[in-house]
Structure 1
C-alpha cells in the first residue's frame, strides 16, 4: 500500500509540474501586450515600457516561469495587475463559494443518483427501469446552464422560494448563503446524478451475474437481499472512480454556472481575469483548479486501493 501511494504521489507532483508549464506557455503565447491592454491604446511607449518592467514582463520566459513556480511553492502567487491585490488572497476568498458549491452538488448527485441506479438494477427490464434510464439519459443531455435558468424561472421568478442569483457571505448570514447556493447546486448536480444512476445500474447488473451472487441465492437469499448484502459493495468500485472524476469536474466546471447565477466564486474570478487580461491571476486561479482536480484523483486512487486489495497486491509485486 505504501509503495502504491508513493507512486501516486510522484505522479501527482509530475502532473502539477507539467500542468504549470503548459499553463505558463499557453498564456505567454497569447497575442497582445498585457501592459498595453491595461494602459489603453493612448498610452505612450515609455509608460508601457515602465509597466512592463514593474510587471516583470521584460525578463526571459524561463526566468519568469521559475520565479512564478518558486513563488507558488512559498504560497506567493503574485500580485493581480487589475485588482491590485495578492492573487492568493483573491483565490482564497473565492474558494469559500466554489468549494461549498461543488460539495453540495456532489452530495445532491449521490443522494439522487445512487438510489435511482440501485432501484433500476433491482427492477431490471421493468417499466420503472426504463423510466429511470430515459430520465437519466435526458439529464445527461440537458446543459447545466440551461437547467439553471429553468430553475430560476420556476423557483425564483414563479414561486419566489429562492433567490435568482447573488451570494450573501457566510459570516453575514449562513442561511441566506446556503439558499443562494441551492439552485446552482441543483443545476450542477443534474447531469452528475444521471451519470451516477446509469453507472450504478450497469455495475449492479454486471455483479448480479457473478458466482458469489448465485451462491448467495442458493443459500436462500432473494435477489434483492443478495444485491444489497453482497452486490452493492462490489458495484461501488467503478462508482468510486466516477465520483472522483465528477467532483473534479464540479470543482473545475463551475465557471459557467457561477456566471449564470452571479456567484463570486473562482470560476467568476477566472472569467473576469480573462476579460481583463490579468494573466498572473488567470495562471494562479487555473493552477488551483488543477491542484483540486489532481488532488481529488489522487485521493480517489488511494481510496480505490483501500477498497480493492488487488491494487495493493499488484503494487507490492
Structure 2
C-alpha cells in the first residue's frame, strides 16, 4: 500500500464529501415547506416573527452564502446548532453514534458467523441437499428487506413469545445486548444471504483449480485443502464483507425507526421531517466518511490477503 494510493483515496473522499454536501444542501431547500413554518407548527405568526427566525438561522441570506458559512464552520469543527432541539450538532450526533455503531457491528458479526460457514459447507457439498438448503436460505434472506424482517421478528419474538423487548436500547452490557439482538438479526438476514452466495461461488471456483486436484492426489487432509482454497478465495469474500458493512450501516435507518432505537437513523428521519438542515448535512457527511473508511479498510485487507496486490506500484 503506497502513500500515493492513500493520498488519492483521501482526495477522492474529500471530493465526494464536497459534492454530497452541495447536493444535500440544495435538496433540502427544494423540499416542500420552510424551516420557520416547521418551527412554528400550526401557530399563527406575524411577518416580524418569521423574519426574526430567518435572521436567527441566517435563512435570509442567499443560499450560496449560507452554504459557505456552514462550510467554514465545518473546517473549524463546528457543524452548527440543531434547529429542532437547539443542541450543538456534534453533541446531538455524538450522543447517538455509539448505539448505531454497536448495532452495525452486531449485525455484521452475525452475518459473518451465519453466512461464511453456510457458504463453505455449500461449496464443499456442491449439489447435495445441504448445498441446496444453503442456496434457498441465501435467496430467501436476500429477498427480505431489513425492515420487513424486523417487523416479523418483532411480532414473533417480542410480542407473542415475549423473549425480547419490544423497543428501546437497554441499560448496561446485558441489557444493550438483549435489546439489539432482534434489530441485528433483521440486519443480518439479507447480509448473510449475500455472503453465502459470494463465499460459495468463490470456493467452488477455487476447488476446481488444478492445485486443489493435485493436493487431493497427494493425499492432503480435507481441512488443509479447505485452508488453501479459502485463503485464495479471500478477495471476493472481503469484498462481500465490505458490502455488508456499508449496507448494514445504511440499513440501520429503517431498523432504528422500526425498533424505536435512539441512534443516528432515527435522528436522520426526525431531522429530515423537521428540515433540520445542520443535522442532516452533518449526518450525510458522517455516513459518507464511514463508508469511505470501510472501503479503504477493505483495500488494505486485499494486500494482507494477497501480497501480490500492490496498489499504485509496478510489479
CA shift digits 1:125-172 (9 cap, x unpaired): 111101110111011112222221222222222322211111224xxx
Inter-partner Cα distance in structure 1 for 2:153 and 2:34: 41
Is the 1:80–1:86 contact (alpha carbons within 8 Å) kept by the matching residues of 2?
Answer: yes
Distance in 2 (CA, whole Å) between partners of 1:4 and 1:283 is 28
* 1:54-133 matched pairs, under 5 angstroms: 54-133=56-135
2:312 maps to which of 287, 307, 315? 315
Greater displacement, 159-168 / 303-312: 303-312
TM-score normalised by L of structure 1 = 0.93
- Note if 1:195 corresponds to 2:197: no
Check whether the contact 2:167–2:261 (CA below 8 A) recurs between aligned residues.
yes
- Structure 2 Cα separation of the partners of residues 30 and 150 of structure 1: 33
Mean alpha-carbon deviation: is it higher for 114-123 or for 280-289? 280-289
- Secondary structure class of the residue paired with 1:26: helix
| TM-score between the two structures when normalised by the length of structure 2 | 0.93
Are 2:25 and 2:277, in contact at CA under 8 Å, matched by a contact in 1? Answer: no
Q: Which residue of 2 aligns with 1:258?
A: 256
Residues in 2 aligned to 1:12 and 1:311: alpha-carbon distance in whole angstroms:
22
Separation of aligned partners in 2, 1:123 and 1:150? 31
Give 1:13 shift. Answer: 2.1
Please say if 1:13 is aligned against 2:14.
Answer: yes
Q: In the alignment, what sits opposite 1:248?
A: 246
1:214–1:8 Cα change, 3 Å: farther
Alignment partners' CA distance in 2, 1:73 and 1:216: 57
Shift of 1:96: 1.8
For structure 1, which runs of at least 5 residues remain unmatched after alignment? none
- Is residue 28 of structure 1 aligned with residue 29 of structure 2? yes
Picking from 264, 269, 283, the partner of 1:285 is 283
Deviation at 1:115, TM superposition (A): 0.3
Deviation at 1:210, TM superposition (A): 1.9
1:179-227 per-position Cα deviation (integer Å, ceiling 9, x unaligned): 11011000110000111011100000011122322232232225x3454
Root-mean-square deviation (CA), in Å?
1.7
Partners in 2 of 1:22 and 1:219 — Cα distance? 60
Say if 1:5 and 1:302, in contact at 8 Å, map to a contact too. Answer: no
Shift, 1:295, TM fit: 1.4
Aligned position for 1:297: 295
* 183-192 or 157-166, which deviates more: 157-166
After superposition, the C-alpha distances for 1:54-95 in whole angstroms (9 at most, x for unaligned) are: 101122222222222222232211101111101111111111
What is the number of residues matched between the two proteins? 312
Equivalent residues in 2 for 1:204-243 (5 A)? 204-221=203-220, 224-225=222-223, 227-243=225-241
1: CA distance, partners of 2:33 / 2:196: 47
Do the aligned partners of 1:213 and 1:226 also contact (CA within 8 Å) in 2? no
Between the aligned partners of 1:106 and 1:64, the Cα distance in structure 2 is 38
Question: Is the Cα contact below 8 Å between 1:98 and 1:266 reproduced in 2?
Answer: yes
Q: Indicate if the aligned counterparts of 1:216 and 1:226 stay in contact, CA closer than 8 A.
A: no
233 and 36 in structure 1: CA distance in 2 versus 1, 3 angstrom threshold: same
| Matched residue SS, 1:84 | coil
